[in-house]
Homo-oligomer: A and B are copies of this chain.
Amino acid sequence: MSKERPTIADVATRAGVSKGAVSFALNGRPGLARTTVDRILAAADELGWRPSSRARSLSVSKAFALGLVITRDPAVLSSDPFFPAFIAGVESVLAPRGQALVLQVVTAGEDEAAGYRRLAQDGRVDGVFLSDLRHEDPRIELLVELGLPAVTLNRPVGSSPFPAVCLDDRPGTVAVVEHLLQLGHRRIAHVAGPPAFVHATARSQAFTETLAAAGLEPIGVEVSDFTAAGGTEATRRLLALPEPPTAIVYANDRMAIAGIGAAHQAGLTVPDDLSVAGFDDSELAEFVHPALTTVRADPFAFGATAATTLIQSIDGDGDVADVELPPAQLVVRGSTALLEE
């Protein structure tokens, strides 16, 4: 018997049952005979067992579910460029294991911490994905306090005890801007995503820095919202500038595809009059006309890798290493062309 705090293994030994049975009993899940439950609860009492983050990590996969808290207005969730594919990737790992994903949407401005507390305290999930990292993210400390295993999507600023699965957006954006510079473009604009999101900010910074390295400034930067409507409006504003851009780099494909439509409506032809580049290589990118030059991120692989890493972190004893995904790659298609003046 350990001199330290008793574990589920200790309770199992004393009660003469498996660790799984202890986990079932302590979590009130059905399937055990009442007498077995009583024996296990008695053993836990005698040993002074109490739930703790350590005990939690030993009660392997007791919920058989992972949690994802998304802070978004539900109305914009379906137009999100990332989550449907990320969730599909997570499910590609969970489905064969018969595990579930518990999705908790928190409306912006509501109490996000309560979402995590509910998942932790109800024992509903064995671990959570931490997405949309913010600067000085208070959720790191909250999850440590709750004793809930987690994986962060990208590396938080500041210290974190959780493994990170990282996808560097910057090289893809750098490659897009360098591609346009090589095509002779100098008047280049950017339609950015919401600055509260680390990945939107990373793309914007990479855009501006790559232009600066070439001695240029953006002809315009419009902050938008990743939606088709937002991309259309931003494109109209940029095309109405006294010196309109000859190329626009969008922070996602949806805004870029809408931008092609807006350019056509303004009487311009893409790519003859305006080069357009997106980000995501979403499903439609290859099939619209002209086919969209974009950056191939792989949110499905991101989700699958994050799920695998989180499960390792829940099941394993030791530290789980960070995973660096291959950086997003430039995909050149028909929507960008040599500048002709």
Contact = CB atoms under 8 A, between A and B. Distances in A.
A253 to B, nearest CB: 10
A29 B88 contact: no
A283 B227 contact: yes
Interface in A111-138: 114-115, 118-119, 121-124
Interface string A68-107: 0000001111111001110111011011101011111111
Given A231-B287, A283-B79, A289-B260, A102 B105 contact: no
Given A87-B103, A100-B103, A284 B258 contact: yes
Contacts of A78: 84-85, 87-88, 283, 299-300
A291 B91 contact: no
Interface in A36-70: 45, 51, 64-65, 67
A103 B94 CA distance: 10
B87 A114 contact: no
Contact of A75 (B45, B88, B102, B123): B88
A103 B77 contact: no
A122 B228 contact: no
A299 B168 CA distance: 34
Interface stretch (A185-193, A199-207, A261-269): A261-269
Contact of A107 (B30, B79, B89, B96): B96
Nearest to A235: B287
A322 interface: no
B100 A118 contact: yes
A110 interface: yes
Interface in A157-209: none
B77 A288 contact: no
Contacts of A88: 74-78
Contact of A100 (B64, B119, B228): B119
Nearest to A106: B95
A167 to B, nearest CB: 16
Interface in A254-293: 254, 257-258, 260-262, 264-265, 283-284, 286-289, 291
A312 interface: no
A144 interface: no
Given A30-B121, A65-B124, A283-B254, A91 B115 contact: no
Select the residue from A92, A105, A123, A254 with max chain B CB neighbours within 10 A. Answer: A105
B287 A261 contact: yes
